[in-house]
Structure 1
């Protein structure tokens, strides 16, 4: 069993393989059921629409049986240790998908059982499967990721951090993070990006639209109210003036082939206008579909293994 807790645990080749499988699943090129007879648990401490449902649906499509756990349905809520919980769940399950919205430490501790594959479905610092869905969406739209320039706009949240790590592992993919001052992707994450990319990662962070050089191939944004958590500054919206994605923003930084991405859910009229989100350049809804195909590719890789995923990729080709 393998865990996928952070993209930094992957090699460039492993990430590329998982992304290719997500694209193949999205195209309907895979009709086998590699998880037939397997058991997948889905444990979410916080609310979720897309991620929870995509893992449930993806696991079932791969042939697995699925059990879901709410925030208070495991004995963790009554004092059992994380390690004891992992040891027991490894007797019943092949994989456990976990969303904490908190520190990644609990997910890593759940991954301490070698008989249980653990997947990070969102922690405070990173949303790895979201970045895989993002790359799958771009790969499907453009073919080759090398040479693309993605502009990620808004708060430097877990999705932005994961996308930065994914870009560091994807040779030739350029990412510009445009975040308001005080809301940037943490420097520790950028240091990790630099190490993963061997000093060659094409990832930069700026705090003013005037610092962005376009045109870009994709404009990406997320909701500014990360995980619905209120911000300390009651006037925080003023810090995001000029960061909303509207037609003028796309025309300023995009070209005729520029696409729009959003990891959803969206606060319409805040970080993006209806015209852009529902417009012909928007891939946000296809991107949401790829949350499921990314979940499928990750579960296959974690439970069945890279060799099986490669064999499946060769068969699809």
Structure 2
């Protein structure tokens, strides 16, 4: 069991408190403890109090520590000290949304890339000039420290951490149980000019679902547009509006995800993994996997076969 501590720093949204519990507890691999500087009832913004049973001692043996909340306000000094101690002891450190301000106050983001909710990214950059703030991404990893944007992006980061720990298959299981989309890449934009198409009934979700069922085929823009019954130009515009990615970028991400899952859960030869995921050849599989995760297919399979075994 991977020991994980979520440190709650008021003011905090009740939804943010629920994210690590919902995502990490959806698979039987994590011992999740929610803690705070002063155990007991913790007020949430616009919602009921949540009762937190654990104090900061929960960080002492945690392998992953996630800072949640603060709203950009000053965190208690004992929280900052506990975070510094956990980082110095080798724990993986992360934050959800405005939890980035807590890590910044602890000095853990100095000289690093980081993100937070786009509405507060300017404040983070102004108050902590040593941080390279990225306001337009879902989550960022810099040398073992992870920060995420708000709301759904925090779920994306939690799923990404599960994938790092136990592979794509377990992360996809967590996503399905939480009824959310598979892991989105961290570099995807936080927000887009048109979050939903203005016309009713024009979502491309059915076309994306169809594409996922046919990743082994050489899908083209014309194929996707034909399924959606729109022009290629309209497809490209709406696809970017809904996902933040071009259709071909989205397809490549999904193909690599499928290849990772096949490598983890089957003993198929590399050329068959490449074929079933739509990457074409073993050489193409190798190229894209190294680019995405820094491992060859053989090394990736060996690593996650050991983890999942």
Tell whether the structures are fold-level matches, with TM greater than 0.5: no
Bigger share in helix: 2
TM-score by length of 1: 0.32
Q: Which has the higher contact order (CA 8 A, sep 6+)?
A: 1
TM-score by length of 2: 0.33
